[in-house]
Amino acid sequence: MVITKRRRRGSWLLFGIRALGVTGLFAFLLGALGARRTPGHSLRGTLTDFATNPQAIPTALFNTTDRFYTVCLWLIVLGAVCAILAGLALFIGGLGRLAGRRNVAGTNAVLQTALAVVLLVGVNAWSFHHYKRFDWTGRKLTWDWPYPRLAASERFEPQFTLPDAVVADLKQLRGETKVVVYQRHKTPGQFADKPDAYDYAAERKIVEKVRDLVGLFREFGPQFSVQVLDVEDEGFTRAMKDIERNNPQLAKAIDAAPVNSIFFQSTRAVPGPDGKPVNRESIQRLSFSDFYQLDKSASKAADGGRGNLVLLPQGIGSFARRVLAIEEKKPKIALGTIHEYLTSQGQEELTLAGLRKSLEQNGFEVVDIVLKKGWNEGEPVAGAVTLNETQYERLEEELADYDAVLQINKQELKFMSGLVEKLKSNMTLDELNRELKPILRGQRLDETARKRNIANLEPQLEMLREYMSLQEKERNETLKQLEAIPGQERLAEQRRQTDTAAKFRKLLADCDMVILPRMTVRNAVTGEVIPAWLHRLDDGQTLALRDFMAAGKPVFGLFGPVNEPTSERRRPGPRGPDGIEVLFNQLGVVFGGQTILFNSELKAFSQRRVSLLATGAEVEVPPALFERPKGRADVEADDPTGQKPNAIARSLKVVAAAAGSADKLEKLKLRHPRPVYFVPVRGPGDSAAEFLFADADSWNEADPFPNRDKTPRYEPTKPDSPLYGTRDAETRGPFPIGVAVETTVPAAWRDDPQPQAAAAALLAGSATGAAVAIAAQSLIPADDYARGPIPRLRVAAVGHGGLFTGPELSPAKEQFLLTACNWLLARDERLARDDHPAWHYPRVSLSGRRLGLWRDGAVIALPAAVAFLGSLVLLVRKYR
Amino acid sequence: MRTSLSLIRREFAAYFLGPLGYVALALFLLGGGVLFRFTVDLLTAEGAKGIEYPMQGLVGNVGFWLVFWVIPPLLTMRLFAEERATGTLEMLLTAPIQDSRVVICKYLACLLFYILLWLPTLLFLPVLLDLHFAWPGWSIGRALVAGSLAIPVGLVILTFSIGSWRPIGSTLFFAGLASWVAGIVYLRLVEKSVFCPITPGIDPMPAAAAYVGLFGSGAMFLALGLWVSSLVKNPIVAALVALAVNLAFILGGLLVLGGFYVPPADTGDAGFRVMSFLSVPLHVSQDFARGIIDTRHLLLYGSVTLAGLFLTVRSLERRRWQ
Amino acid sequence: MIHVQALTKFYGDYPAVRDVSFDVPKGQVVGFLGPNGAGKSTTMRVLAGYLTATSGTATIDGFDVFSDPVAARRRIGYMPESCPLYPEMRVREFLHFRAGLKGLTGKERADRLDYVIKRCWLGDEERTLIGNLSKGYRQRVGLADALVADPAVLILDEPTAGLDPTQIRETRELIRELGQQHTILLSTHILSEVEMTCQRAIIINQGMVATSGMVADLKRDGGLEEVFVRITKE
């Protein structure tokens, strides 16, 4: 047979095609690199142009303005063409190879590989969108013959499972929600000046938990996007600018946030006024501590003093509610004061501006109602005036003043200009003298005098004109301010309303809660006092408040002590508790008639004796307590066993614990409070009523004002005095100064339209025993339940009128305020809670030698053992 | 069956006949030990420091993943590449065993070694999970269960010896097995208790989930390494290419855990989701180590493993066509 | 026993083996002869199952090497040219493994190991690491491996390459002995080997079968060398 020589090398043609292909690719790459950075031309743009509009190619290629760029384009085009041609040639050549077993099997293999790759990519692409996550935390493995099963563990809680209720709600959610976590590094309940390691650690942990929770939500819900903004971060300003651009509402809300918060912004379709769905955007805020509350005192004390991070979970209910954007109407709180100076826009020292700010920042609406009017005309009478009204009145008067002044000035102007005209005119001196005779009054005008007068009067005229135009401007400003007052129609209506009581009722009807701050004793050392009788409300107002409460709406009374210095006591007027206090009495809240003085204040009193300059401002009183100090029993104390602890006290304790101490807020210091007792006239109730206490280093003084003859001092009531053993006896503290009661509305309030005038008269002596007797008269009659469901009512009273006074509230007071308001409005879910098991880092008790052994053993012993074993084996292999 | 066992046995033993296996073990245990020490420090820390999921201390650290990145290529590099380099592949492929069997046996052998790599970390669990052992004392059942120590001894003998020791090895193995089963049954039915009641102070399921994740991802990397090894002639090149391939699955996680790349705060961001879909360190440290089993991850591992094995078989076949 | 029909193998574009056909009946010792690069190793690899032919068929004892590879390989004992072994294993360990790979277990395996170790004169080096052995011993191990499962066909690629004369003689002796029980196909470019050990010779050149015939006949034809040179010159 003929044996032909085999060639190892392929043909020149094949080599040429392959070389061409490789060269083409290289040229393409070079051209692309060169063209990429050419200013004025975008490579991507050019390529897309080429792809869409092939006719553009020749023009671009022959465009000679930028030689370099043109060369690059040529390279790209030629390179691509060569590479594609070569590829095609090889492919076609490959297709046309020898037939035979190889080809079939080869194609088979290629197909199989391609299928495998496609399957791989496809399966993963599918699972990217369709997947399930299983939470193995909080479970244990049990053997349920013959299969193993995961059952709930008794020792641990699942960490990544949502409660069914929340899941059900989330599944119905539609639309997008944006979650913004805003870290200001300022936590509420942070009463130290700077955050410490615990605060930072808690912050980081909470951010993590938020991320996790949103991740969980994402499994069920619609679009969730999370953004974390850290003020200390470099990109923070840029991120905020972005938000301001896209979402100004959200940016505003973020700016206004006082503490670390989580914002939820969602757009939901809600039925609009005409029935058609309207996209409503809502922004909700949740502060970090509403999600997890740091318990700093427990953190520091954990593990036998070694410290741990302890967080109190507040339940994911509030979180879920924000996400679901359950639109909650802002509760409206009315502040009832007696003078403009005492309102939230009042005078610096007496203002309630801080109260308003704190409430508004935390989702409340605030409205001031001034309860007395006619301060300028002698004795003030009852009123119900909103601040808008007073402002309106004030502006109206100003306007009238301006108008009057302008009127006068106009006349003057007219006169003067007439005069000047006359002087400047062609009239002869005689004529002038005749005309101006009444003014000249016997004097004679000559030429020089005439000229002099003109010279004097003209500038005066100018000045007058200027003055008048200024006045006009100011007058117009005032008018604008007047017209800018919102609710002009309502205002007009309100001003027309002369019936105070009806007006008050109408104002109250909008509100959900009333706070009555009655600041009385401001400083006992100097005798600064607002007499209590000034705060008294008349019958109409009392009735309106009673009906307000009968509807189940809460009242927060801040009633300061009623003691007055002797110089004031000679004024006539009714004494004893006013209608509101009587209403409180009927619910079991009784106010003491003394002022509580603290032992630490004695120094201030003795200083005052010596010098009138001493005001006692630097005296520190002990902070208020949330729990009666152990070991002291009150005269008529409630039986504490079997009662749930007071909800407000409990919540405040959680907040206080976050700040580092368990039963008081260091900065909550009340000076000159009044005792407030709970007398269980309508049954003891299922939780304790007293929630705020004055420290034991105090006594209740009936005359707390020093004068030249005496300084207030503790003088215990003697046994032979009629007050001995009663609540009014002078004893040492502690005293309850805050009471919160939840009860049913007394039946008498709901049907009896007349106030109990007889009771009021009897109470002139301010003897609490009588008050109790009267209060007992309003016990619910037996057949009341036939009338339908009795509304429940919550009221609270604190014996300090100036508690929330000032331009800004300290964090302690703010927490106190918010806790009290939330409880009063029955928004219990917002109170800080400690009923969930606390979260903390797991700890292992290892120490000393054992710890050392574990630490070193793990690092050294195991690898050393491996090395040992290896050496042994290799030695055996080599030498045996 | 016998052929497969032979091959698995020989491949597994090969790790111990040269320095490679010991080096990998020592390196891995060193890394694990250092991280364990670091975790123990957090578990006994003072103040606001600590670690919520102890396994995260091990697998959430960038150092761990650097080590873990390197180990599978080390283990797989010689599997095919060395055989091609020395020519022993020819011997293997002319034996009466299918290509797919060869691939599976080699894979199983390195998977077994990988499991062996992780076994010593079980020694860390008493500290990581704060286990409290309430040893009730010896009894018949417990003695029987303790007899199961013969199983590993028997296995070691069977793996490494030939000839006269083998019957001893197999008797030990089966005797140990029988003793274990008998002990369990006896404990359950007669003494109505367990071997040693263990109470964990820290939820153990995240640790279990972490092991599941590590097994799955390890299986995936080993399969990829095996495939690369079958494509390349030089074991060193095989290791390097395997490193590069594994990097695709690890890089994102390394950057995030090392702090070089802060993930966009928006965790729903599309780019981040794609990256974290592939990024094994993030799977293990964020999901598995905290007790979350995500089907996406398991499906990824399983599908890539199967694809890797399939492609290895195909690659062997192509070898024959050349 | 061995039946090859129109076997063709391309490495890419290069035809290593073109249209080779031959038959080896049972019990014959056949020598594959040819210059370097003629295609001998390729043909043997295809037969052993390491490579797949581009076209054509090859069967061992009726089992097609392509479609029934495992069965075919079970009947083959193959020893490649470079004799690759695992240097970290001991001789007996290696043979133990290979025996297991080929399906032997237990006592049968132990007995066969003893047998091949004795037969290939490996008794002294049973426990030596293969990496420590000389070339000659390695060839013996390779041969032992080929023998261990008692295959019907032995395919030996240059079995005496690199051995010293004593070893060469011993190996040839062994092959002659084995030829009495097994079918052997061995390749070489040493003519004297073929003359001494084989009954038949197939000469391959440029990937095709140049001549095939009984050694005795070829000797008559002017000697093997004569034939060889004549063919390769063309």
Comparing A48 with C148, the larger pLDDT belongs to C148
**Closest B-chain CA to C10:** B322
Cβ pair A638, A555 in contact under 8 A = no
% of chain A exceeding 70 in pLDDT? 83
Tell me how far apart the alpha carbons of residues A436 and A427 are, in angstroms, rounded to a whole number.
12
End-to-end CA distance of chain C: 32
- Cα A184 to the center of its chain, rounded Å: 13
Q: How far is B57 from chain A (nearest CA, A)?
A: 13
| A807, pLDDT greater than 70 | yes
Q: What is the pLDDT of residues A263-283, one digit of tens each?
A: 888 776 667 677 777 777 778
- Strand A513-518 to strand A332-337: parallel, antiparallel, or no bridges (unpaired)? parallel
Comparing A383 with B201, the larger pLDDT belongs to B201
Q: Which residues of B touch C98 (CB under 8 A)?
A: 91, 95
pLDDT of A416: 86
Question: Which of B312, B307, B301 is closest to B228 using CA atoms?
Answer: B312
Identify the three-state secondary structure at position C75.
coil
DSSP-H helix ranges across A425-499: 429-435, 437-440, 447-484, 488-496
Tell me how far apart the alpha carbons of residues A262 and A228 are, in angstroms, rounded to a whole number.
9
Helices B99-118, B19-43: inter-axial angle, 10-degree rounding:
40
Nearest CB to C210; choose among A3, A6, A105? A3
Q: Which residues of B touch C73 (CB under 8 A)?
A: 94-96
Look at C14 and A4 and tell me if their CB atoms are within 8 Å. Answer: no
Cβ pair B249, B171 in contact under 8 A = no
Tell me how far apart the alpha carbons of residues A795 and A791 are, in angstroms, rounded to a whole number.
13
pLDDT of A570: 59
Residues A598-612 have a mean pLDDT of 79
pLDDT of A573: 65
**Closest B-chain CA to A226:** B266
Tell me how far apart the alpha carbons of residues A3 and C209 are, in angstroms, rounded to a whole number.
9
% of chain A exceeding 90 in pLDDT? 11
| C232, pLDDT greater than 80 | no
Phi-psi bin for C53: left (phi > 0), alpha (psi -120 to 50), beta? beta
Comparing A506 with A37, the larger pLDDT belongs to A506
Asked if A224 is an interface residue toward chain B (Cβ–Cβ < 8 A), one would say: yes
Q: How far is A83 from chain C (nearest CA, A)?
A: 22
Q: How far is A117 from chain C (nearest CA, A)?
A: 25
Pair of tokens at residue A29: 């790459």
| A784, pLDDT greater than 50 | no
Look at C206 and A5 and tell me if their CB atoms are within 8 Å. Answer: yes
Q: Name, in order, each residue with C-beta under 8 angstroms of A676's C-beta and a sequence gap of 6 or more.
A: A559, A589, A590, A591, A592, A690, A736, A737, A738, A739, A797, A798, A799
Residue type, A794: R
| A759, pLDDT greater than 70 | no
Pair of tokens at residue A517: 């701050």
Comparing A496 with A238, the larger pLDDT belongs to A238
Asked if A7 is an interface residue toward chain C (Cβ–Cβ < 8 A), one would say: yes
Chains that touch C (3 or more CB pairs under 8 A): A, B
Global confidence as pTM: 0.79
Nearest CB to A135; choose among B29, B51, B292? B292
Cβ pair A308, A840 in contact under 8 A = yes
Q: Which residues of A touch C55 (CB under 8 A)?
A: 98, 100-102
| A38, pLDDT greater than 80 | no
pLDDT of A766: 43
Tell me how far apart the alpha carbons of residues A71 and A38 are, in angstroms, rounded to a whole number.
12
Cβ pair B80, B40 in contact under 8 A = no
**Closest C-chain CA to A8:** C14
DSSP-H helix ranges across A700-829: 747-751, 757-762, 768-776, 811-824
Q: What is the pLDDT of residues C50-109, one digit of tens each?
A: 988 888 899 998 899 988 899 999 999 999 988 899 998 999 999 999 999 999 988 899
Question: Which of A738, A743, A748 is closest to A826 using CA atoms?
Answer: A743
- Pairs across B and C, CB distance < 8 A: 78
Q: Which residues of A touch C129 (CB under 8 A)?
A: 877-878
pLDDT of A9: 60
Pair of tokens at residue A326: 């359950």
Residues B20-48 have a mean pLDDT of 91
Q: Name, in order, each residue with C-beta under 8 angstroms of C74's C-beta and a sequence gap of 6 or more.
A: B96, C102, C103, C149, C151
Look at A306 and B46 and tell me if their CB atoms are within 8 Å. Answer: yes
Pair of tokens at residue C118: 């004795």
pLDDT of A96: 60
pLDDT of B114: 96
Nearest CB to A128; choose among B200, B296, B314? B296
Question: Which of C3, C208, C182, C10 is closest to C79 using CA atoms?
Answer: C182
- Pairs across A and C, CB distance < 8 A: 38
Nearest CB to B311; choose among A113, A134, A842? A113
When mean pLDDT is compared across A223-227, A832-836, B75-79, the lowest value belongs to A223-227
Residues, chain C, total? 234
Q: Which of residues 12-51 of B touch A (CB under 8 A)?
A: 16-17, 19, 21-22, 25-27, 29-30, 32-34, 36-37, 40-51
Q: How far is A861 from chain C (nearest CA, A)?
A: 28
pLDDT of A54: 67
Q: Which residues of A touch B16 (CB under 8 A)?
A: 873
pLDDT of B292: 92
- CB atoms closer than 10 angstroms to residue A620: 10
Look at A854 and B127 and tell me if their CB atoms are within 8 Å. Answer: yes
Task: Provide the ipTM.
Answer: 0.90
DSSP symbols for A97-165: S--SHHHHHHHHHHHHHHHHHHHHHHHHHHHHHS--EEE-TTEEEEEETTEEEEEE-SS---SS---HH
- Cα C164 to the center of its chain, rounded Å: 19
With cut-offs at 50, 70 and 90, classify the pLDDT of residue B88: very high
Q: How far is B104 from chain A (nearest CA, A)?
A: 17
Residue type, A858: A
pLDDT of A785: 42
Per-domain residue ranges of chain C = 84-150
Would you list which residues of chain B are within 8 Å, Cβ to Cβ, of chain C?
Answer: 2-3, 5-7, 9-10, 14, 17-18, 86-88, 90-91, 93-98, 162-163, 317, 320-322
DSSP symbols for A409-427: HHHHHHHHHHHHHHHHSS-
Tell me how far apart the alpha carbons of residues A503 and A383 are, in angstroms, rounded to a whole number.
9
- The one-character DSSP state at A789 is P
Look at C92 and B163 and tell me if their CB atoms are within 8 Å. Answer: yes
Three-class DSSP labels, chain B: CHHHHHHHHHHHHHHHHCHHHHHHHHHHHHHHHHHHHHHHHHHCCCCCCCCCCHHHHHHCCHHHHHHHHHHHHHHHHHHHHHHHHHCHHHHHHCCCCCHHHHHHHHHHHHHHHHHHHHHHHHHHHHHHCCEEECCCCCCHHHHHHHHHHHHHHHHHHHHHCCCCHHHHHHHHHHHHHHHHHHHHHHHHHHHCCCCCCEEECCCCHHHHHHHHHHHHHHHHHHHHHHHHHHHCCCHHHHHHHHHHHHHHHHHHHHHHHCCCCCCCCCCCCHHHHHHHHHCHHHHHHHHHHHCEEEHHHHHHHHHHHHHHHHHHHHHHHHHHHC
Q: Is A178 exposed, middle or buried (0-12, 13-18, 19+ CB in 10 A)?
A: buried
Average pLDDT, chain B: 90
Pick the most confident of A572-586, A657-671, A749-763, C107-121.
Answer: C107-121
Name residue B292's beta-bridge partners: A135
Tell me how far apart the alpha carbons of residues A710 and C38 are, in angstroms, rounded to a whole number.
132
% of chain C exceeding 90 in pLDDT? 32
Question: Which of A738, A749, A736 is closest to A793 using CA atoms?
Answer: A749
- CB atoms closer than 10 angstroms to residue A133: 16
Residues C135-151 have a mean pLDDT of 91
Cβ pair A753, A564 in contact under 8 A = no
Residues, chain A, total? 880
| A392, pLDDT greater than 50 | yes
Tell me how far apart the alpha carbons of residues C214 and C227 are, in angstroms, rounded to a whole number.
13
Comparing A329 with A45, the larger pLDDT belongs to A329
Chains that touch B (3 or more CB pairs under 8 A): A, C
Q: What is the pLDDT of residues A328-381, one digit of tens each?
A: 678 899 999 888 888 888 778 888 999 998 888 888 889 998 888 777 666 777
Tell me how far apart the alpha carbons of residues A797 and A518 are, in angstroms, rounded to a whole number.
11
Question: Which of A236, A234, A215, A212 is closest to A225 using CA atoms?
Answer: A215
Residue type, A278: V
Percent helix, percent strand, percent coil in chain C, to nearest 5: 40, 25, 30
Asked if A510 is an interface residue toward chain B (Cβ–Cβ < 8 A), one would say: no
Residues A208-227 have a mean pLDDT of 78
Q: How far is C210 from chain A (nearest CA, A)?
A: 7
Look at B320 and C96 and tell me if their CB atoms are within 8 Å. Answer: no
Cβ pair C151, C79 in contact under 8 A = no
Q: Is A95 exposed, middle or buried (0-12, 13-18, 19+ CB in 10 A)?
A: exposed
Average pLDDT, chain A: 80
Look at C14 and A8 and tell me if their CB atoms are within 8 Å. Answer: yes
Q: Which residues of B touch C110 (CB under 8 A)?
A: 163
Cβ pair A531, A571 in contact under 8 A = yes
| A99, pLDDT greater than 60 | no
Q: Which of residues 142-171 of A touch B (CB under 8 A)?
A: 153, 155-156, 159-160
Q: What is the pLDDT of residues B93-144, one digit of tens each?
A: 999 999 999 999 999 999 999 999 999 999 999 999 989 898 888 888 888 8
pLDDT of A492: 80
Cβ pair A698, A661 in contact under 8 A = no
pLDDT of A641: 58
Q: Is A222 exposed, middle or buried (0-12, 13-18, 19+ CB in 10 A)?
A: middle
Tell me how far apart the alpha carbons of residues C118 and B82 are, in angstroms, rounded to a whole number.
31
Residues, chain B, total? 322
pLDDT of B68: 93
Tell me how far apart the alpha carbons of residues A307 and A295 are, in angstroms, rounded to a whole number.
12
| B214, pLDDT greater than 70 | yes
The CB-based long-range contact list for B138-143 (8 Å cut-off, 24+ gap) reads B139/B191, B140/B186, B140/B191, B141/B183, B141/B184, B141/B186, B141/B187, B141/B190, B141/B191, B141/B193, B141/B195, B142/B183, B142/B187, B142/B195, B142/B196, B143/B183
Look at B97 and C70 and tell me if their CB atoms are within 8 Å. Answer: yes
Dihedral sign computed on CA atoms, order A747, A749, A755, A758: positive
Asked if A868 is an interface residue toward chain B (Cβ–Cβ < 8 A), one would say: no
Cβ pair C53, A106 in contact under 8 A = no
